[in-house]
Amino acid sequence: MRTLTAVMMAMAAAALPHVTRGADYYIANKPGSGSGTKDAPFGLGDMPQPAGKPTRALTVLQPGDTLYFKGGEYALHTGPVKDFYYVGYLRPACSGEPGKPISFRACPGERVVLTAASGGQPIFGNFDRDYVRHEGFVVKGSIGQVGGKGAEIAYCEIIGQYVDTTDNHDGIRIEHADGAWIHHNIIHGVQGRSGNSVGIKIYKSQNLVVEDNYIYDNTRGIFDKDSGINNTYRRNFLTKNRLEQFHGNNQGKYMVAHIYDNVIDGHVALGYLVDGTDVHDNLIRGDLLTGHWAGELWNTRLWNNIVIAQGKAVTAYNESKNRFVNTGAKKHLAYMDFNVYTAPAKYTFGGEIFDMERMRAGGFERHSQVVAGAGEIFKDEQSCEPLPTWRTAGRDGDAVGPENAALVLDVKRYGPAGRGYKSPSKEK
């Protein structure tokens, strides 16, 4: 299935339009204005004012154009958050086009730090603009709202802070987006008094690819909160977030997600209103694989996951509200097999606890295994390279666990510095 998924994504990528380069403009962290050329770049005087009216550095950009930021720490005087809750400070005056995105990029090899010195408005956020991309920045603040079609946030570091709130507070906020690509970012420090303080939060978006991100030290890691459809989460490293590393839907329509090849130091909390989600080929370092307490979890498919228990038992699946349903259009599990656990597994449905033998009697977990510890799966726990036995032990004769856990765990490939990263092993 992983091979099929990769082939499907490669076909989709091949179908994307060729990217056409337009004009290149430059901006520097200096007073005054400029013409936008490399030798006479725009200055801080060409940036938007707190009232939010775009200035020439943004209005000049047309489909295919790129605005390069020269190195430095830019203290941005953004608009008040009450007036610009969704709209990013650095947002083009028009949309890009398929194959001709409008791009904001840090100059290669230069460190560009964008700080919201006043105002509270999100620094980036295309809102209703299509085909806008941001690459290579250190952002001391937030990115959002990422909306429209074809948005891209890549190789950025988002440095959050503690905010004394239970309301929405996000590193990257994605809302009403179609086909956004969020990749190779570092997101940390987004903390608050509730699980609404999140590294990446998603509302009412579809066909997203959220991959190759390092998300840590937030209150919650990823939260696909409202009606996510066909969103893919793969090769992310989620660790040390205070609550759930991944949390699924809790409102709106039923979520359908594809969650695979991640390293997660915790578990996948599917949330409420979920139907037809895949969770496979992940490395879970915790005592719970997936599920949630609120119910309405239907037709989940799980396979090829490795669960490294931290205690003496693993809850492989937890649905605390409803008793086990294994017939009809709405049944708890569509498929569950070929998983590997380092402690005895149990499964809870409406307060009733099943063991693996009972699951096997119901047609699940027939090839899943319990082993004594991680040493029986990996050559070592640093690389997480599977021993030969496990390289063909998966559902399709493939390996169990992530295709390349060492790559996911290599934090040098994330953030602005990752643009020059030379992988010791190929990303697939």
Bond before 206 cis per omega within 30 degrees: no
* 350-365 pLDDT tens trace: 989 999 999 999 999 9
Amino acid making up residue 166: T
Percent of the chain with pLDDT over 90: 81
d(C-alpha 316, C-alpha 365), whole Å = 10
What is the value of pTM for the model shown? 0.94
Q: Kindly provide the b/e burial profile for residues 408-428, where b requires at least 16 CB atoms within 10 angstroms of the residue's own CB.
A: bbbeebbbbebbeeeeeeeee
Q: Residue 15: its pLDDT value, please?
A: 45
pLDDT tens digit sequence for 118-145:
888 899 988 889 999 999 999 998 898 8
- Whether residue 332 is predicted with pLDDT greater than 70 in this model: the reply is yes
The H helix count followed by the E strand count for the chain is 4, 36
Give the pair of three-digit tokens for residue 92: 């083009």
The amino acid at residue 144 is G
Mean pLDDT of 76-88: 82
Assess contact for 231 and 202: CB atoms under 8 A: yes
CA–CA separation, 134 and 397 (whole Å) = 39
pLDDT in tens, 197-236: 999 999 999 999 999 999 999 999 999 999 999 999 999 9
Give dist(CA 252, CA 229) in Å, integer.
Answer: 11
Q: Of 195, 212, 209, 174, whose CA–CA distance to 250 is shortest?
A: 195
Q: Does the CA dihedral 45-47-53-56 come out positive or negative? A: positive
DSSP state of 255: B
- The pLDDT, as a whole number, for residue 51 is 63
Distance CA 160, CA 192 (A): 10
Query: Which pLDDT score is estimated for 18?
Result: 62
Average pLDDT rounded to a whole number, residues 264-281: 96
How does residue 422 score in pLDDT terms, banded at 50, 70 and 90? Answer: confident
The band of 7, judged by pLDDT with boundaries at 50, 70 and 90, is: very low
49 pLDDT tier (thresholds 50, 70, 90)? confident
Residue 381: burial class (beta carbons within 10 Å; 0-12, 13-18, 19+):
middle
Query: How sure is the predictor about 426, in pLDDT bands with cuts at 50, 70 and 90?
Result: very low
Q: What is the pLDDT of residue 6?
A: 53
Contacts for 103 with CB less than 8 Å, ≥ 6 apart: 65, 66, 67, 132, 133, 134, 135
Domain ranges within the chain, ordered by starting residue: 274-401
Determine the residue type at 212: D
Alpha helical stretches, state H, 62-200: none
Overall residue count recorded for the chain in this entry: 428
Give the closest residue to 200 by CA, choosing from 163, 178, 235, 233. 233
Mean pLDDT of the region 149-161: 97
Q: What is the pLDDT of residues 178-190, one digit of tens each?
A: 999 999 999 999 9
Q: What percent of the chain has pLDDT over 70?
A: 94
Token pair listed for 268:
């996948």
In what helix (H) or strand (E) does residue 231 lie, and over which residues does it extend?
Answer: strand 229-234
Q: Is 400 helix (H, G, I), strand (E, B) or coil?
A: coil
Contact between 262 and 234 under an 8 Å Cβ cutoff? The reply is yes
- From residue 188, give the alpha-carbon distance in Å to each of 210, 243, 267, 304: 16, 14, 18, 29
pLDDT for residue 408 is more than 80: yes
pLDDT, position 291:
94
Q: Tell me what the mean pLDDT of segment 339-347 comes to.
A: 98
**DSSP, res 404:** T
- Residue 12: what pLDDT? 46
Terminal CA-to-CA distance of the chain, rounded, Å? 14
Residues 400-424 have a mean pLDDT of 93
- Average pLDDT of the chain is 92
Query: What mean pLDDT is predicted for residues 48-66?
Result: 87
- Residue 357: count other Cβ atoms within 10 Å of its Cβ: 8
pLDDT tier for residue 425 given thresholds of 50, 70 and 90: low
Nearest alpha carbon to residue 137 among 207, 190, 70: 70
Answer whether residue 373 shows pLDDT above 80. Answer: yes
Mean pLDDT over 297-310 rounds to: 97
Q: Which two three-digit tokens encode residue 317?
A: 């699946």
Edge-to-edge, what's the strand order for the sheet holding 132-135? 24-27, 66-69, 102-106, 132-135, 152-154, 181-183, 209-211, 229-234, 256-260, 278-280, 300-303, 333-337
- CA pair distance 170, 161, nearest whole angstrom: 10
More confident residue, 306 or 78: 306
pLDDT of amino acid 17: 53
The answer to whether residues 217 and 192 touch, using CB atoms and an 8 Å cutoff, is no
- pLDDT band at 87; cut points 50, 70, 90: confident
